[in-house]
Structure 1
Amino acid sequence: MDDTFDVMIIGAGAAGLTAGIYASRARLSTLILNEGAVGGQMVLTNEVANYPGVETTNGYVLANTMKKQAKSFGCKIKSNVKIIRYKLDGNVKEVELEDGRLFKAKSVILTPGGRPRSLNVPGEDTFKGTGISYCATCDGDFFRDKEIAVIGGGNSALEEAVTLTNYASKVTVVHQFDHFQAFEHAVEEARKNPKIEFVMESEPRAFSGNGHLQKLTIEHLPTGEHKDLNVEGTFIFIGYLPNTDALQGLVALNERNEIIVDKDMKTNVPGVFAAGDCINKRYRQITTATADGTIAALSASEYLRQT
């Protein structure tokens, strides 16, 4: 391909789509390359009730709206592609796809997002897709009128536990600490739901079953006592890892493999910016991702004016 874009965005989650909206609306030729389906973590969220100016919606609808906005300003979006090579140094950046296509740009915004963190306990890999899930929106309906467990104590775990009560007959939340890391409103909503029970200071030790998940073995940490929960499903929400494996050695990463950026979303490589759940920051919400994407696009625009 001979054309060189002004801005190339890697990833089409909230941060990437927002960057695409801002960059293309600024009349910069803009391309988004995305290895999966458009929307990132948003599409895994059943209910979005805290996005400013928008009444309660779901993540898929919000992602699709952002996609339409970006395309309306001329942003090109190519999804379900496989990137095999990055060249981020120099005045012209390059990205090569598995099918041989080569895309070039004067600036790059990295928004690859993250992936669910695994427990890495016996039986987890065995029962993925046959009882173990990382997405309530995707799989909740498979567990209608069944007893299930949710692992985790953050916002996602408690919010999705509430969502899962729309399907399951009982939801047992298993958390390793004696307190939750979620916001108070999420804790209160979960506690007042009669279908939810809590097992605190406990961790999963094994999953077992015959063809499909039937049992979750947990350990009560203060006593070391093991207990079996008879569940047909387990949903794991213990955070996720940044999708930065392919960027090792290309941009500066911290000890958690998050991309290091400054307040303007600049990486250590000139002309390369990063935004969203892949960067070093504390809070990960749709609103923070869109803010990051906005700043990255504006910074990229300024960079292009100065070069």
Structure 2
Amino acid sequence: MTEKQIMTDVLIVGAGTAGLTAAVYAARAGKSVKLVEQYLQGGQIINASHVENFPGFESIAGFEFAEALYNQAIKMGAEIAYDKVTGLHDYGNHKGVQTEYGGELLAKTVILATGARVRPLGMDNEDKFIGAGVSYCATCDGAFFKDKNVAVVGGGNTALDDALVLSSTSKNVYLIHRSKTCSAEKRLLEKLQEHKNVHFLLESEVTALNGTDKLESLNVRDNVSQTEQVLDVEAVFIAIGHIPDNKAFAALVELDAYGYIKTDENCATSCPGIFAAGDGRAKKVRQLTTAAADGTEAALAACDYIDLL
């Protein structure tokens, strides 16, 4: 380590709910904290129109929730750098975090809170039509399709929340889901069913994205009758889950078969001094509350680790 390199106590990769919560707890414990975020602070929750399942808030906009958490972390003394983390190195009593633009950052402990990226359909024309009818965020792009016919693919909370957002501005919203029932919360489903312009196409799946320079229609197959129809829509919003983005850490921490980081109950990974929190960690439930809980656990475990160095 050169004289110019600064050693941070807790370096957190990712500034979503888990990462920001970890920053709050580590900073409150008197540790120096640095967050490294590739995109915009707040994570996936900034795309939610409303959050209604976080204790203490009957309803709050996702962006407002994320902004309040970010401001809290910064007020506590955490710093943030916007950069892409490309790798990790274990130096024993401290870690090296390689970044694309800022070089190597040194820290006594590292918390990986990278979350997960949206899962694509993996179909022809999908990449071609991104920004021209294919979207992964109804809150971001829904206003561009006011009074137009649109579709949402998926059956979880995100998909139904997207459909709910679109129902207030779009002419017709087609919810396409391959299963017979939706896995979303019952209250959200009931709320969506109240909207007459929302049409449920269950046990169905998209088989083609059609158009020349932009999306013009979808081919949708009914998996029960094995019939196929062409659905004239100008946009499709894809909400079929997420994929962990942990390849950069695979040489140092153990991943499961799906690419999620394996940890113990204290969020510790297979490498001492490195912890994982949030949606990128191997676990059963991925909710806003569990992300915050992970951030708390990982930060306190990291602080304990530092105190024993």
TM-score (structure 2 length as normaliser): 0.96
Taking the aligned partners of 1:177 and 1:49, their CA distance within structure 2 comes to 25
Pick the aligned partner of 2:33 from 30, 33, 38.
30
The alignment status of 1:109 with 2:111, answered yes or no, reads yes
Whether the 8 Å contact between 1:88 and 1:272 is mirrored in structure 2 is no
Q: Tell me by how many angstroms 1:100 deviates.
A: 4.5
* AA at the equivalent of 1:232: E
Taking the aligned partners of 2:269 and 2:203, their CA distance within structure 1 comes to 39
1:124 is aligned to 126
CA RMSD of aligned residues (A): 1.3
Q: How many residues align?
A: 306
Partner deviation per Cα, 1:4-23 (whole Å, 9 max, x = no partner): 11111000000000000000
2:214 is aligned to 212
1:304 is aligned to 306
1:72 is aligned to 75
The alignment status of 1:186 with 2:188, answered yes or no, reads yes
The alignment status of 1:17 with 2:46, answered yes or no, reads no
Q: Tell me by how many angstroms 1:56 deviates.
A: 2.1
Whether the 8 Å contact between 2:87 and 2:249 is mirrored in structure 1 is no
Whether the 8 Å contact between 1:172 and 1:199 is mirrored in structure 2 is yes
2:92 is aligned to 90
The alignment status of 1:165 with 2:164, answered yes or no, reads no
Taking the aligned partners of 1:155 and 1:243, their CA distance within structure 2 comes to 21
Taking the aligned partners of 2:76 and 2:218, their CA distance within structure 1 comes to 50
2:234 is aligned to 232
Q: Give the SS at the match of 1:180.
A: coil
* AA at the equivalent of 1:220: D
Q: Which runs of 5+ in 1 are unaligned?
A: none
Q: Give the SS at the match of 1:278.
A: coil
Which region of structure 1 is more displaced relative to structure 2, 137-146 or 217-226? 217-226
Q: Tell me by how many angstroms 1:50 deviates.
A: 2.2
2:291 is aligned to 289
TM-score (structure 1 length as normaliser): 0.96
Q: Give the SS at the match of 2:279.
A: helix
Q: Which runs of 5+ in 2 are unaligned?
A: none
Following TM superposition, the consecutive aligned residue runs of length 4 or more in structure 1 with deviations greater than 3 angstroms are none
* AA at the equivalent of 1:2: Q
Partner deviation per Cα, 1:204-225 (whole Å, 9 max, x = no partner): 1111113211101011112322
1:62 is aligned to 65
